[in-house]
Structure 1
Amino acid sequence: MLDVRQRTDGFLSRINLVSRRLRSEAQRRLVRHGVHSGQEFILGCLWERDGLTPGEIAARISVEAPTVTRAVRRMTDAGLVRVEADREDGRRVRVWLTRKGDALRRAVPEVTRALEADALTLLSEDERIQLLDMLDRIDRALASRPDRGEI
């Protein structure tokens, strides 16, 4: 059996590996629907409330606005969304679902649910709850740390 230090060394490597595998598998499954990994979060926001600004989307999914802007550009090229100037403030744009993007409302969540089920298949219900709790605690720990500019 591993001691505590052996079990905790490599946490960043392990979480990075799992994250990369999840992204890769999400990409493989979503591409069948013309969606790239990460775009499902933008679609989810728009399914809840169509016509959001890129900044509003970014805030909802906890990424930077330029990340959303790049993704929306790709999604526009793929015919999933359209971008229009805000009617009240022409300096802002709003992102709207196209028919093609709206038609994925059932398929994409099914893909992500299946991926989650597959990823957690070896965990008991209690372990799944513990894992989510631990991830929430890790997130809170990192969020509570001031930026110290450390390397």
Structure 2
Amino acid sequence: MLDVRQRTNGFLARINLVSRRLRSEAQRRLARHGVHSGQEFILGCLWERDGLTPSEIATRISVEAPTVTRAVRRMTDAGLVRVDADREDGRRVRVWLTRKGETLRRAVPEVTRNLEADALALLSEDERIQLLDMLDRIERALTPRPGRTEL
């Protein structure tokens, strides 16, 4: 059994390993549907409200707009979405689901639900709640705030 200091010192390595394994498994499972890992979040936004701008999607999923732009380009090539100029402001573009993207509305969320269930299978309900609480607190601790330079 590791003592507290060993567990704390290994936190970054462990969170990185778990993150990589989750991404890899998500990629493997989503690939069956022609979706790359990370694209499920963009699809989810569009299933909620089709025709968002890349900037609106980025805000909703907490990533940078260029990340969404690159993903949307790849999704367009795969036939999952299409991009059209905004009717009111031709400088902006809007992202729309294609029929192919729409047909994944049930399959992709099922893949992510199953992945989450598999990842948490060895945890009790109380442990799951505690884990989510701890992750929320870690995220808050790392959120930039005015006047705060470094942690």
Q: TM (normalized to structure 1)? A: 0.96
| Comparing 123-132 and 6-15, the one that deviates more | 6-15
* Count of residues paired in the alignment: 150
Query: Residue 33 of structure 1: SS of its match in structure 2?
Result: coil
Tell me which residue corresponds to 1:70: 70
Which residue is 1:19 aligned to? 19
Which residues of structure 2 form unaligned runs of 5+?
A: none
The 5-angstrom pairing of residues 36-115 of structure 1 reads: 36-115=36-115
Q: Superposition RMSD on alpha carbons, in Å? A: 1.4
Shift of 1:145: 5.1
- Judged with a 3 Å threshold, the aligned counterparts in structure 2 of structure 1 residues 125 and 149 are, in CA distance, closer, same or farther, namely closer
Comparing 6-15 and 21-30, the one that deviates more: 6-15
In the TM superposition, what whole-angstrom CA distance separates every residue of 1:30-66 from its partner, at most 9, and x where no partner exists? 0000000000000000000000000000000000000
Supply the distance in 1 between the matched residues of 2:76 and 2:102 (Cα, whole angstroms). Answer: 13
Aligned partner of 1:148 in structure 2 is 149
Find the aligned partners of 2:145 and 2:6 in 1 and give their Cα distance: 25
The 2-side partners of 1:17 and 1:117 are apart by 18
- Cα gap change, 1:145 to 1:3, in 2 (>3 Å): farther
For residues 144 and 53 of structure 1, what CA distance do their matches in structure 2 show?
Answer: 25
Q: Residue 6 in 1 paired to residue 9 in 2?
A: no
Residue type of the alignment partner of 2:64: E
> What percentage of aligned pairs have identical amino acids?
89
2:2 alignment partner, SS class: coil
Whole-Å separation in 1 of the counterparts to 2:138 and 2:114 = 25
Cα distance in 2 for partners of 1:119, 1:145 equals 32
For 2:16, the aligned partner's letter is N
Deviations 1:63-95 (A, max 9, x none): 000000000000000000000000000000000
Q: Give the C-alpha shift of residue 3 in structure 1.
A: 2.2
How far, CA to CA, are the matches of 2:103 and 2:3 in structure 1? 51
CA distance, structure 2, for counterparts of residue 112 and residue 12 of structure 1:
24
Distance across 1 between alignment mates of 2:7 and 2:150: 28
Residues in 1 aligned to 2:30 and 2:134: alpha-carbon distance in whole angstroms: 28
In structure 1, runs of 5+ residues without a counterpart are none
- Measured after TM superposition, the shift of residue 138 of structure 1 is 0.2
Aligned letter for 2:53?
T
Shift of 1:10: 1.1
Which one-letter code corresponds to 2:149 in the other structure? R
